[in-house]
Amino acid sequence: MFAATSPYEPTIKPVRAQRASGTGRVSFKPGSMGTTGKTMLDGLYQQGCAKIRLPRVYGSNGAEAVLINSSGGLTGGDDLNWDVSCGTGTAAVATTQACEKVYKSNEGPAQVSTNLTVADGARLDWLPQETILFDQSQLTRNLLVNLSGTARFLAVESVLLGRLAMGEKVHSVGFSDNWRIKRDGQLLHADTLTLNGNVTGFGANAAVLSSHSSFSSLCYIGPEDTESLATLADGARQCIARQPDCHGGVSAFNGKLLVRLSAPHGLQLRAALIPLIQHLRAGEPLPRVWTT
């Protein structure tokens, strides 16, 4: 005997967990008559979990944008997109409200894409707070920067492998961080960092992390001549030397300055980062969210 199948029998489909997505765009323009030298908001767009806040900045003509992922963190399948643009003669800082947390993934990597545009004579400092990678997390991050003329640009990206104060240990991650920086359409800097698999094992290598749980990459690009860039690099080395627990290196060539840092834990890394960033910003303080 064969059992009859009812045409009204419901079809059971696999349930896919809800995923977060968001797009945030902000642009700045020079001040109009009566606000000479002041950077002003030009455009603002927010969609999904991507939010942008513009706190008032005192003692500076620049602007500040605080980027917020209102979903509370990232996991597999999440998609976040940021776009920041600075018009001619403007100055702005883009940062994040807090550390970005990347949780265990069962559905491939989370995706974060950032597009930054800096016009001739403008300056943009990309200063997000640390990204925390939890065990078995997966993240693909892409940073695309387009500079024009004499634009100045500073980028900092830092990663923490878990939270040591909470007793967390990270054994395996899938992390890809891709930077592409162009000036007037010509590729100036390309950098791809990949951590995939047993980070506890290969991270113990002295050429990788020396078993450190936190690391950072910095890049500064400006119109300075070779001598001025070398002076900036010497100051950066002095900042790192004051933090004996950190390992770091500084290179200056082809109009750019690069810094790599690693530290046993995040507090030591931040202690080295703050004076280093202030040095590369000519003494300007960090965004207030970095200290609250």
Return the H-helix or E-strand segment holding 275. Answer: helix 266-280
Confidence of residue 275 (pLDDT cuts 50, 70, 90): very high
Give the global pTM.
0.91
* Residue 253 clears pLDDT 80, i.e. is over it: yes
DSSP class per residue in 86-141: E-TT-EEEEEESSPEEE-B-SSS-EEEEEEEEE-TT-EEEEE--PEEEPTTBEEEE
Which one-letter DSSP state was computed for residue 133? E
- What value does the mean pLDDT take over residues 154-171? 86
- What value does the mean pLDDT take over residues 161-174? 82
- What value does the mean pLDDT take over residues 180-209? 92
pLDDT at 163: 79
Measured CA to CA, the distance from residue 57 to residue 8 in angstroms comes to: 63
Which tokens sit at 147? 């500079």
* Residue 166 clears pLDDT 50, i.e. is over it: yes
DSSP class per residue in 144-198: EEEE-TT-EEEEEEEEEES-GGGT----EEEEEEEEEEEETTEEEEEEEEEEEEE
Give percent above pLDDT 70 in the chain: 91
pLDDT at 83: 98
Return the H-helix or E-strand segment holding 235. Answer: helix 226-241
Confidence of residue 5 (pLDDT cuts 50, 70, 90): low
Amino acid at 184: D
- What value does the mean pLDDT take over residues 33-53? 87
Phi/psi for 93 (5° steps) reads -125, 135
| Residues 214 and 269 sit within 8 Å (Cβ to Cβ) | yes
